[in-house]
Structure formats: structure tokens, C-alpha cells
């Protein structure tokens, strides 16, 4: 009989029991359930609700179960509805009536809410470690390629030359914001619902501040209805995962482009590439593509939970059983993708000569030529038009700005002098952007130091 079966005369149909069970997903928070139960039993004994002997038996029994679960030796009974019942049933079988006293002053509603919050905190901690490692790799890649010049793009068209290290650090700062979101999700989960019971609190003299302390929560949730029904912190976690996956998908898209023969900017390690079953020459960026594809999966996890929580009345509803699988999937997916990305970036070869050659094409010096004229007194809008006309003429002739002679340039404006040649060098163009946050060598070196400091 189920632990709640006293009110029922008939047994549960096998299919409905299977349909309503959540054991397979719940196994992921078995250790958190045991931590919560040990804290609850400790508090009950301190409050005189159960004896010290019962507390000692409960703690010893739960510790043994935790060790078995960690080692993979625990036998799960398919008849158990969820992890809470599986552990409590096993505990009671082993230590007798003391195990049956564990649930005093507690409901599965506040028990599961406690477990999920502990799990969410643990997931955030793991993701923050992965985020930190990926940011460290990005900083290392930037440092190894400080002087590499590449074309910068807008609309995927050549815009202005930039340093490759500057481009990599842009993703560093994206991931830094992701870390902030993960920290916020962890802070949202860091509140104790234990002691709220089913929805209204309990008549037992529980000390919620004590379980808050024992479980490492920041504070106890002040409203018992909210405590058992709130899953906002899981939405925060899934949102943080979704945004981070979006950032990874952007980087993956560039890796796919850069590794193609049309770009040739990078060469991926064999360890992060695959071949073709029919085309012997292929070296495919499959892992970048797969990471890009998994972004949609994490988006789906977020939307599923938003939809599950929509219109739910207070307090607990069985719908909330569906709140665990999505966050677990989102967190595990993001964690795996960050690990893949760290390895892929750390082992890729940067083809700096190809990048530099491309940085000088596509009229990427046009803005600097216009600035050259503006610095010599011509209104920028007029300078913009002059250089635009030069670009048009170059397109008609099939040449670049760098191919024009000084005489041809002076036909457009007599402000051009011999020193215009320096304004057409891609490395010089990048180096000249010295403002804070710019792509100049000194600015990027300062930015890299700032990035290192955040780690």
C-alpha cells in the first residue's frame, strides 16, 4: 500500500500508478532529499518532537542509504511513486518505527519544494564552474592571438578590421552576463520552504530558522502557500540556461562559417570534427552544429515550464510534478555544451594570415578614409559621400581603395596626402581604435586584464 493509502479502499490501477509516478526523474535529487530529511530530523529532536535515539537512528539510516545511492548499490522499487517514498520506505524497513516518525510536521509538498531548491542551487554551482572554465578558455585564446587582425562584420558584410582577440572577448563578456544570471537564479532558489507542510504550516513547534541554517539557505520563506507552490526560481534557472545557449549558438554559427573553405579563418581539431560516410575529404564541424541545435531544446524546456505554471491556483497542484525534468535537461545540456565549446576553442588553429588578408578586402578601410578627410576639415557627411563615390568607382574597376594612386585620390579631394597610405593598412586601422572598449591593441590588452580580473 502507498504511504498515503489509508483513506482508500481499492488499490491503484497499475497504469495510473505508472502514469503518476516520478521516480525516474526524482532519482536526480535523492541526495538532496536525504540532506533535507537529516536536517528535519535534527530539528525535530532539538525541538523535543522526536527523541534523540530516533534522530540518531534516522541519521545513521539515511547516511547509509545516501552512500548506497552514491555507489549505485541502492535497489529502487518500481512500486514507489517517487524518491521521497522510496527513501522513507527503505528507511522504515531498516530502522523500524523511528523511520515512520521522520515525516512528523512535514508534507511531501514542502519536502519536494526543499529538494528542488537544493537541487537548483547545486545545478547553478555546477553551471557556474563550467561558465568560469569556458570564459578562462576564451581569455586564453584572446591572449594567444593578441595581434591577429580579422575583418569585423555588420550584416555579415565586411565593415572594419578588428583584432581576433577583441572578437573572442566579446563572447567572454556575454558569458560573464550569463554567470550573473546563474548567480541570480541561485539566489532565487536559496530560500527554505521546509516547515510549511502541505500549505498552511503545522501545529508542531518547528524551528524553521534551524533547518534554514542546517541546509545552508539564506532565509525561510515567509508564506507557507507561496513556499510550496513557487517554482519561479526554476524559471530563472531555465531562462539563464536559455540565454547562455543562445550565446553559444552565436559563437557556434561563427565557428561553422570560419571553418568553411569560403572563410578558412580557423581549423578545428580532429577531436572536435567528424567525417562523411561517402565523401572522403569532409571535415565537418558537427559539434558546433549540434551545440547550435541544442539551443532550441533548452528554449523548449523554458516554454514548457512557463506553460505548466500558467493559471495554477494556490497551493500545490500535481501539475508541478512536471517542473523537474525541464530544468534538469536544460542545466545538463548547457553544462555539456560549455564543456564541448571549451575544448573546441582551446584546440582550434587560428589561420592568422587568412584573417589578415581578408581584413583588407571589402573596402574595410572606407570609414578611416572618411575620418582622414574629416580630420583635415571636411564635414564628415561630405567626407562620407566622397569616399562612397571612390568605393563606387573601385567596384566598377574591380579594384580596392588601396589600389588607387595618390593622383586618383586627389581628383576626389585635394585633402589627400602621401600619409593616406597608412590609413589603408588593416593592422593600423585596428590599432588606431584606442578608446576604452575599442579594438586597438592597447585597448584590448587593458580589456583582457579586466577580463582576467573578473575570473
Could you tell me the three cell numbers for 326? 525541464
Whether 128 and 233 map to the same domain: the answer is yes
Whether 265 and 146 map to the same domain: the answer is yes
Could you tell me the three cell numbers for 417? 596626402
- Tell me whether residue 326 is in a domain: yes
Whether 241 and 131 map to the same domain: the answer is yes
Q: Among all residues, which ones are annotated catalytic?
A: 155, 276
- Tell me whether residue 22 is in a domain: yes
User: Which domain does 71 fall in, by range?
Assistant: 5-104
- Tell me whether residue 213 is in a domain: no
Whether 156 and 292 map to the same domain: the answer is yes
Other beta carbons less than 10 A from residue 348's beta carbon:
21
- Tell me whether residue 453 is in a domain: no
Whether 95 and 120 map to the same domain: the answer is no
Whether 281 and 334 map to the same domain: the answer is yes
- Tell me whether residue 327 is in a domain: yes
Confidence band, pLDDT 50/70/90 cuts, at residue 81: confident
| pLDDT tens digits along 135-170 | 999 999 999 999 999 999 999 999 999 999 999 999
pLDDT, residue 29, reads: 96
pLDDT, residue 280, reads: 85
Whether 137 and 235 map to the same domain: the answer is yes
| pLDDT tens digits along 1-43 | 555 555 556 566 667 766 767 788 999 999 999 999 999 999 9
Confidence band, pLDDT 50/70/90 cuts, at residue 413: very high
Whether 268 and 162 map to the same domain: the answer is yes
Report the pLDDT averaged over residues 216-235.
98
Could you tell me the three cell numbers for 330? 536544460
Distance CA 47, CA 426 (A): 74
Whether 248 and 330 map to the same domain: the answer is yes
Whether 323 and 188 map to the same domain: the answer is yes
Report the pLDDT averaged over residues 265-289.
92
Whether 33 and 152 map to the same domain: the answer is no
Q: Are strands 191-192 and 219-220 parallel, antiparallel or unpaired?
A: parallel
Other beta carbons less than 10 A from residue 371's beta carbon:
17
CA 39, chain centre distance (Å): 31
Whether 373 and 332 map to the same domain: the answer is no
- Tell me whether residue 440 is in a domain: no
Distance CA 112, CA 318 (A): 12
Total domains in the fold of the chain? 3
Task: Collect all residues with Cβ–Cβ distance below 8 Å to 191 and sequence separation of at least 6.
Answer: 117, 217, 218, 219, 220, 221, 233
Amino acid at each position: 500500500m502507498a504511504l498515503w493509502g489509508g483513506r482508500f479502499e481499492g488499490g491503484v490501477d497499475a497504469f495510473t500508478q505508472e502514469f503518476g509516478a516520478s521516480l525516474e526523474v526524482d532519482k536526480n535529487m535523492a541526495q538532496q532529499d536525504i540532506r533535507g530529511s537529516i536536517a528535519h530530523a535534527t530539528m525535530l529532536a532539538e525541538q523535543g518532537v522526536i527523541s534523540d535515539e530516533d534522530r540518531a537512528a534516522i541519521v545513521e539510516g539515511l547516511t547509509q542509504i545516501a552512500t548506497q545511492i552514491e555507489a549505485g548499490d541502492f535497489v529502487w522499487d518500481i512500486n514507489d511513486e517517487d524518491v521521497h517514498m522510496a527513501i522513507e520506505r527503505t528507511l522504515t524497513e531498516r530502522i523500524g518505527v523511528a523511520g515512520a516518525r521522520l515525516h512528523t510536521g512535514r508534507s511531501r509538498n514542502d519536502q519536494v519544494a526543499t529538494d528542488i531548491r537544493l537541487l537548483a542551487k547545486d545545478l547553478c554551482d555546477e553551471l557556474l564552474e563550467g561558465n568560469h572554465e569556458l570564459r578562462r578558455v576564451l581569455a586564453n585564446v584572446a591572449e594567444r592571438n593578441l595581434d591577429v587582425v580579422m575583418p569585423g562584420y555588420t550584416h555579415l558584410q565586411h565593415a572594419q578590421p578588428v583584432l581576433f582577440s577583441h572578437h573572442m572577448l566579446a563572447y567572454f563578456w556575454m558569458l560573464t552576463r550569463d554567470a550573473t544570471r546563474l548567480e541570480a537564479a541561485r539566489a532565487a532558489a536559496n530560500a527554505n520552504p521546509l516547515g510549511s507542510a502541505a500549505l498552511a504550516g503545522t501545529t508542531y513547534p518547528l524551528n524553521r530558522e534551524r533547518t534554514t541554517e542546517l541546509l545552508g539557505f539564506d532565509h525561510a520563506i515567509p508564506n507557507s502557500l507561496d513556499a510550496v507552490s513557487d517554482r519561479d526560481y526554476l524559471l530563472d534557472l531555465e531562462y539563464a540556461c536559455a540565454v547562455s545557449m543562445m550565446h553559444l549558438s552565436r559563437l557556434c554559427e561563427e565557428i561553422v562559417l570560419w571553418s568553411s573553405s569560403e572563410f578558412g579563418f580557423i581549423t578545428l581539431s580532429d577531436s572536435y570534427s567528424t567525417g562523411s560516410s561517402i565523401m572522403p575529404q569532409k571535415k565537418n564541424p558537427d559539434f558546433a552544429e549540434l551545440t547550435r541545435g541544442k539551443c532550441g531544446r533548452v528554449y523548449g524546456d523554458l516554454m514548457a515550464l512557463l506553460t505548466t505554471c500558467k493559471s495554477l491556483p494556490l497551493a500545490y497542484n500535481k501539475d508541478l510534478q512536471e517542473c523537474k525534468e525541464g530544468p534538469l535537461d536544460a542545466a545538463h545540456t548547457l553544462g555539456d555544451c560549455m564543456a564541448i565549446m571549451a575544448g573546441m576553442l582551446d584546440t582550434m588553429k587560428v589561420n592568422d594570415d587568412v584573417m589578415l588578408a581578408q581584413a583588407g578586402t571589402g573596402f574595410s578601410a572606407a570609414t578611416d578614409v572618411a575620418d582622414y578627410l574629416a580630420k583635415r576639415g571636411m564635414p564628415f557627411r561630405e567626407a562620407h559621400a566622397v569616399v562612397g563615390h571612390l568605393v563606387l568607382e573601385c567596384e566598377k574597376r574591380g579594384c580596392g581603395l588601396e589600389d588607387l594612386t595618390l593622383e586618383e585620390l586627389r581628383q576626389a579631394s585635394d585633402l589627400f596626402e602621401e600619409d593616406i597610405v597608412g590609413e589603408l593598412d588593416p593592422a593600423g586601422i585596428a590599432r588606431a581604435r584606442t578608446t576604452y572598449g575599442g579594438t586597438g591593441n592597447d585597448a584590448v590588452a587593458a580589456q583582457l586584464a579586466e577580463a582576467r580580473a573578473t575570473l
